Amino acid sequence: MAQLLIVDDERMVADSLAETLPWVDLNIHHVYTAYSSKEALQILATSPIEVVLTDIRMPGLSGLELIERIRELNQKTKCIIHSGHADFEYAKQAMAFQVSEYLLKPASDEEILEAVNRMLEAYRQETEALYSVESMASAIREQLPVLRSQFLDSLLAGKRWNSYELEGKLNLLRLAFQQDDSISILVVRLEEGFPTSDSQSLTLFEYAVNNIAEETFGEHFDLLSGRDQHNYLVLVAKLKQKKAAEFSELGVNSNASSTLFEQTALQLQENVKAYLKRNISLVMSSWGQFPNDVSPLYQESITIMRRNIGNDRDIFIRMSDKGFTKPYKSLRSLYETPTLNQIMDMGQREAALAKIESITRELEEHWSGSQEHMQEVFLHLGASFTYTAHQNGKPLEDLIGIDYEPFYSRQPFLSIRQLKDWALRVTSKIFDDLNKENLNAKSNTILLIQQFINDRLSEDVSLQAISDHIGMHPAYLSMLFKSQTGENLSEYIIRLKMEKAAMLLKHTNERIYQICASLGYQNPPYLIKLFKKYYGVTPQEYRDGLNGHQ
């Protein structure tokens, strides 16, 4: 759906074009009007406009100067000149500003619609070219390191994808990993000599360490690397297919990959020391499957790094040496993204209920005998529910009533089933209230809009004036009004004005020009044109018809 801006210092011309032509047939959902270049620039600053139709001679900035400003703001916006002046100099300047449509007044409705349609088509083609597969592929290549790092962040946080989504991401990021690949993780801590206060210098050193890692591991392993939230470097590694085939042919045992990875990690430690003259400590995880085991292996590696290395330097720890077979840890589903907080923030009721199902299922499968884990889940869910209630300006206790009782109890639940039922019930209560509040807020906004328009039917009521009064962006306000009433805002204003005109024609002896002024129109011919479009007859014919039936 496109947006059009009509700029003309003659209000009747701008309003007539905006309100009488069938713009919806061109898939234009909103038409803005401006009566000066200054007003036009204000609209362009806040609304995405595809096509501008402008006069040339206007007070202040001319139409050509406006187009020059538009070119500085957005090269993609298409401009059409609609002027009564056929001066060659104007045409020459217009061509310099890449204006390919120059309409002479009075242009017919068909000419204007065809010109706007041509510009919309040109805009669409340029946009499609900009977002073509080739352009996107080029942009992705340039941003590949950043995108890979973001992907690793998601893996470390425990994000899950279905097989199709995962394959698409791996192909997009050109990663040599596949689902269920055997992987290990190496967590790297930079130590003395690496800058801590100068972030730019630290980034350069991290880049250098990553390059050394790529060189050191590159012959035998595929890597996915990045920096985590604790400023550790994290490397996810898998044996290259060629090396795996070589091991298979030689008939070596399954520990060969692990031994090679350990030796290569130790070589990395030595290479950093040799080339950068600085020390690093390493924790090498046990082996797991990609991508599901990335997050738990990483979490265990971080735990070992903190517990076992501490202030020591230049340390290497292999995780399996420490016997971390089943560490006592938090529920993965409780903290993996999107978290319940994030889902509630986005207003996704079904996703929130599914998240609670996932959390309680993991609790039942792995920690059914742990009262402490059940308490952790309760406190986490309770914090999310409280946050959501407060974000929407209400105490949680007022929203959930008797279900607030567990917050007062020292032993709120005797079983996981009780906890699950409570959580699902509270989630539903919160969303029921949010939906009710949302509907009420929308209804109140529509009433405010209608009241504002009704109080100002004798004025020139513009979308910008309404949005300023309501405190809402014009585009969103327009969409909200249409979704709630089924009627475009401009259609609603015209309908009220035409109905008032009909009432005045029927019950008063006011002349057409007087009725025109009382409706905020400056030019009677414009009112006559709108009235005939709405009722099928001119105002005078309408009045004569009424008198003929009396």
pLDDT digits (tens, 9 = 90+) for 113-128: 999 999 999 998 888 7
Asked if pLDDT for residue 334 goes beyond 60, the answer is yes
Distance CA 90, CA 22 (A): 29
Could you tell me how far CA 359 lies from the centroid of its own chain? Answer: 27
Which pLDDT does position 332 carry in this prediction?
A: 80
Task: Please compute Rg for the chain using Cα positions.
Answer: 34
pLDDT score of 479 more than 70 = yes
Q: The domain 142-322 is classified under which CATH number: 3.30.70.1230, 3.40.920.10, 3.40.50.2300, 3.40.50.300?
A: 3.30.70.1230
Cα-Cα-Cα-Cα torsion 329, 332, 335, 337, nearest 10 degrees, comes to 160
Q: Which of these ranges, 132-136, 165-169, 345-349, 518-522, has the smallest mean pLDDT?
A: 132-136
- Per DSSP, the three-state class of 195 is coil
Are 285 and 297 within 8 A, CB to CB? yes
Per-residue tokens: 128: 């499609």
DSSP codes, 285-344: ---EETTTTHHHHHHHHHHHIIIIITT--S-EEEGGGGT-SS-----HHHHSSSPHHHHH
Ramachandran region, residue 314 (left: φ > 0; alpha: ψ -120 to 50; beta: rest)? left
pLDDT bracket for residue 20 (50, 70, 90)? confident
What CA–CA distance (Å, rounded) separates 433 from 393? Answer: 12
Cβ burial, residue 280 (10 Å; 0-12/13-18/19+): buried
Find tokens 């500003």 and name the residue: 97
Q: Which CATH number fits domain 456-548: 1.10.3210.10, 3.40.50.1000, 1.10.10.60, 3.40.640.10?
A: 1.10.10.60
pLDDT mean over 144-172? 90
Task: Work out the number of other CB atoms within 10 angstroms of the CB of residue 299.
Answer: 19
pLDDT of residue 323 exceeding 60, the answer is no
CATH number listed for the domain at residues 2-131: 3.40.50.2300
Could you report how far apart the first and last alpha carbons of the chain are, in Å? 48
Residue 294: CB atoms within 10 A of its CB come to 25
Q: What is the mean pLDDT of the chain?
A: 85
Of the listed ranges 41-50, 156-165, 482-491, the one predicted with least confidence: 482-491
| Whether the predicted pLDDT of 88 surpasses 60 | no
Give the DSSP H/E element, type plus range, for residue 384: helix 371-391
Report the share of the chain in percent with pLDDT over 90.
36
What is residue 306's predicted lDDT score, i.e. its pLDDT?
A: 79
> 172: pLDDT confidence band, cut at 50, 70 and 90?
confident
What mean pLDDT comes out for the span 10-35?
88
